[in-house]
Amino acid sequence: MSTRTPLIAGNWKLHNTVAESRALAGAIAAHVRDGSGCDVVLGPVATSLTAVKQALDGSAVGLSAQNTHWEDSGAWTGELSPALLLDAGCGYCFIGHSERRQFFGETDAGVRKKVAALLAHEIVPILCVGESLEQREAGQTLDVVLGQVEAATEGLDAGALAPLVVAYEPIWAIGTGRTAKAEDAQDVHGAIRGHLSELKGKSWADSVRLLYGGSVKPNNADELLSQPDVDGALVGGASLSADNFIPIIDAGVRRAES
């Protein structure tokens, strides 16, 4: 269906002790076959990154942080940097998650600096964008989402942006059990790809992986992942148990095989 490798990412948010993280990562890694055609990434809390890295050792599963600062070091109490994330073994980092934008004052300008800093360290940014319920009801979905994508990639060309992943996560679907209809997700994903094509060129835009996030569960993953521009999923609640997350990975493998 597509030459883009599907990607299933688990966002553990503020959950799991070190021991719980290690056990969950081990259970997931045991299921993931190298060469399955679907990439799998886990995003634990920062205190569990090292333990999860160890649990994933020798497996095909990648490690993601949930946020970063844009500077490598300095007087930034409480922050983590791309250099330290690399040191901890992270190949990916979520950026601009709506919870960070809503509750921690993350701005488009900050998101852009973080995206650039991660790319400079060869860490794949998983850039999160999405509209609120009010914005959707006011018909502003595409303005908001395309605006966020444009702001986060401003001044960076296709070469610099090469590995970027974009996750479309409608805020009203996160943690609510209310998923976007597969066709609605496809409409937004298609618009994101079209906009990236206009901004940065078609060949890169055609290669960018676009994930859907917001109440992805085992029972809706196949339908979402059957859409032409839904290349994977960013999964919160259902990534916290291997029993729920593994069937979603399997849906990603089916997309790779289709």
Binding site for ligand PGA (CB under 6 A): 11, 169, 174-175, 213-216, 234-238
Among the listed residues 97, 99, 131, 189, the single catalytic one is 97
CA 232, distance to chain mean position in Å, is 9
Min. distance of Cβ 232 from ligand PGA in angstroms?
A: 12
- Asked if residue 136 lies in contact with residue 180, where contact means CB atoms within 8 angstroms, the answer is no
Sequence-distant (6+) residues with CB within 8 A of 256 are 5, 6, 36, 37, 38
Comparing CB distances to ligand PGA, the nearer of 205 and 248 is: 248
Min. distance of Cβ 8 from ligand PGA in angstroms?
A: 12
Look at residue 66 and give its three-state secondary structure: coil
Comparing CB distances to ligand PGA, the nearer of 166 and 174 is: 174
* Closest alpha carbon to 130 in 142, 121, 119, 122: 142
Comparing CB distances to ligand PGA, the nearer of 21 and 215 is: 215
Comparing CB distances to ligand PGA, the nearer of 127 and 234 is: 234
* Closest alpha carbon to 149 in 215, 185, 96, 100: 96
Min. distance of Cβ 21 from ligand PGA in angstroms?
A: 17
Min. distance of Cβ 243 from ligand PGA in angstroms?
A: 15
Alpha helices (H) in the chain, listed in sequence order: 18-31, 49-55, 82-87, 98-103, 108-120, 133-137, 141-153, 158-161, 182-200, 202-207, 218-225, 242-257
Maximum CA pair distance of the chain? 50
Element spanning 165, H or E:
strand 165-168
User: What are the two backbone dihedrals, phi and then psi, of residue 146, each rounded to the nearest 5 degrees?
Assistant: -70, -35
Comparing CB distances to ligand PGA, the nearer of 106 and 205 is: 106
| Cα(46)–Cα(41) distance, integer angstroms | 15
Active site (annotated) includes residue 195: no
Q: What are the tokens at 79?
A: 């922050």
Please give the residue whose beta carbon sits closest to ligand PGA in the complex: 236
Min. distance of Cβ 126 from ligand PGA in angstroms?
A: 9
Catalytic annotation, residues: 97, 169
